[in-house]
Amino acid sequence: MAEKLPNFFIVGAPKAGTTSLYYYLKRHPEVYMSPIKEPNFFSYEDTIRQNLYHKEKGVGTFQEYKKLFEQANGHHKAIGEASVSYLFYPTVAEKIHQLVPDAKIIMSLRNPIERAFSHFFMEHKLGYVNVPLEDIVSGKCKHKFAHLWYQQYVELGLYSTQVKRYFDAFGRDNVRIYIYDEISENIEGMILNVFDFLQIDKTFIPGLEGKYNTYSTPRNSFFRAIYSQKNLRTLARKFIPDEKVESIKNLFLTRKKKALKHDKTVERMNEIFKPDIMELEKLLNKNLSAWYE
């Protein structure tokens, strides 16, 4: 009996709609998604080596990884997983290609400045960061995690080299890239395009109500203390059905208006990201000037 392994991967970027895509695809009868949303198998060594403050180790052995897909059956034409760490680390694209050379790759890219603020707001909510983003971007932060915060909020948004690695490994035809801004305007069109890419039934439209992993913040300090406990969140996730996740989260969180973006931080980020965005424009043959103008 042949080993069941993914034939497609959602590789990032973080805070660019990948969580919603994971759940939309999970509802399709011809799709099997790994029960652990982010196994991080191909980036496991990198995350362990860096000792990331998230402490989300993922799946470290091939035996554990294969077990994630044991329940896939003949009805599942598309078997996939979604680990947003796969986009950033340099060796991952080739590692995936060596194991699954014909895999299809899905990316969603977001304005890197918007992505950085969204990522920062999320990690502040979870208690992973407690210093101003301005200090991290400017290099003024002297915290022991300063370099990792800079990686998460800035370096992850330098897309051009990251995208090129997947083009080089899999060829452009097997890599499908979506722009977050455009997805928000036509989510159903994007989903149908994904179905076409994966060659699965396009007459099935999953419920597209609501978005997952959107901005929110704990209602008070008590809920922040509870919500920042990853073990509690992981345990709860095992018992809460997908369709109930957002309603349960709303008990703890409020979607109040985000904090204002610091103008000098935006200016500094634009200086950092603009050259890379222009490289990405050439790579994708796509106008992304809205991201830096």
Per-residue pLDDT tens digits for 240-287: 665 565 556 556 555 555 555 668 999 999 999 999 999 999 999 999
SS3 73: coil
Decide if 107 contacts 140 (C-beta within 8 A): no
For 191-211, b/e burial (b = at least 16 CB within 10 A) is beebbebbebeeeeebeeeee
Domains of the chain: 8-215+258-291 (3.40.50.300)
CA atoms of 8 and 166, how far apart (whole Å): 13
Q: Tell me, what's the pLDDT at 1?
A: 46
Q: Tell me, what's the pLDDT at 186?
A: 87
Looking at 61-180, which runs of residues are DSSP E strands?
Answer: 78-82, 104-109, 175-179
Contacts of residue 293, defined as CB under 8 A and 6 or more positions apart, other chains included, come to none
Cα Dmax for the chain = 58
Q: How many CB atoms lie within 10 A of CB 269?
A: 23
pLDDT value at 131 more than 70: yes
CA atoms of 31 and 272, how far apart (whole Å): 39
DSSP assignment of 183-227: HHH-HHHHHHHHHHHHT--SS------S-SS---EESSHHHHHHH
CA atoms of 113 and 270, how far apart (whole Å): 7
Which range has the worst mean pLDDT, 23-32, 154-163, 171-180, 256-265? Answer: 256-265
pLDDT value at 146 more than 90: yes
CA atoms of 272 and 154, how far apart (whole Å): 8
Give the angle subtended at the CA of 266 by the CAs of 260 and 271, to the nearest 5°.
Answer: 175
Higher pLDDT, residue 262 or 168: 168
Contacts of residue 204, defined as CB under 8 A and 6 or more positions apart, other chains included, come to 28, 29, 30, 195
Residue 210 binned pLDDT confidence (cut-offs 50, 70, 90): low
Checking DSSP bridges between strand 253-254 and strand 217-218, what pairing results, if any? antiparallel
> What average pLDDT does the segment 216-236 reach?
53
